[in-house]
């Protein structure tokens, strides 16, 4: 071939095919293609596939457990928030001065009767001085209820 002259792509491809034919590239081989096509694929379970399957199963279980736990936590948090908001919704204002921190000594917890001296801090009038009352005190002193 004369490399000096410019060949178009078709002529170049034909030249390469002629060289491949001279190198006996297109001669039949001893391999039967029908046996290659019908050969069974790797049907066995390789250790790598088994490990990958188990890690996928573990990851799916962890994700499912996380999702369910998050959902349950959100539901319980919502219920607690609703209960605390019900108690504090009834309070519209608090009597007294915000510089009086005697409420801290009066907090007894839910369903624990407040002493007569602490009755002034029972803002939701449920008989006890609990966190709902303290919350109302904080909101009122921050200017949200007055």
DSSP code, position 26: T
C-alpha span between 130 and 90 (Å, rounded): 14
- Where are the domains positioned within the chain? 52-82, 90-146
Residue with tokens 């109302």: 136
Token digits for 88?
Answer: 């504090």
Question: Does residue 85 contact residue 136 with C-beta atoms inside 8 Å?
Answer: no
Q: At what angle do helices 131-141 and 47-89 cross, to 10 degrees?
A: 70
Token digits for 33?
Answer: 């293609």
User: What's the predicted TM-score (pTM) here?
Assistant: 0.37
Q: What is the pLDDT of residue 146?
A: 46
Each residue of 59-112: pLDDT tens digit?
999 999 999 999 999 988 888 777 665 554 555 567 667 777 888 888 887 878
Q: What are phi and psi of 13, to 5 degrees?
A: -65, -40
Please determine, for residue 2, whether its predicted confidence score (pLDDT) is greater than 60.
Answer: no
Q: What is the pLDDT of residue 60?
A: 94
Per DSSP, helices labelled H in 23-106 are 33-38, 47-89, 103-106
Calculate the CA 136 to chain-centre distance. Answer: 34
Confidence of residue 143 (pLDDT cuts 50, 70, 90): confident
Each residue of 9-23: pLDDT tens digit?
888 888 888 888 888
Q: What is the pLDDT of residue 124?
A: 80
Each residue of 31-42: pLDDT tens digit?
777 777 775 665
Calculate the CA 79 to chain-centre distance. Answer: 22
Q: What is the pLDDT of residue 145?
A: 52
């Amino acid at each position: 071939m004369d490399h000096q002259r410019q060949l178009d792509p078709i002529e170049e491809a034909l030249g390469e095919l002629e060289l491949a034919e001279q190198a006996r590239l297109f001669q039949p081989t001893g391999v039967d293609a029908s046996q290659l096509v019908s050969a069974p694929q790797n049907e066995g379970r390789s250790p790598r596939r088994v490990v990958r399957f188990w890690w996928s199963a573990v990851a799916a279980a962890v994700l499912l457990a996380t999702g369910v736990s998050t959902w349950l936590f959100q539901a319980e948090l919502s219920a607690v928030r609703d209960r605390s908001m019900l108690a504090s919704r009834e309070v519209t204002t608090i009597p007294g001065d915000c510089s009086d921190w005697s409420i801290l000594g009066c907090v007894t917890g839910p369903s624990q009767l407040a002493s007569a001296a602490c009755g002034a801090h029972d803002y939701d009038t449920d008989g006890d001085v609990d966190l709902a009352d303290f919350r109302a005190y904080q909101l009122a002193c921050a200017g949200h209820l007055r």
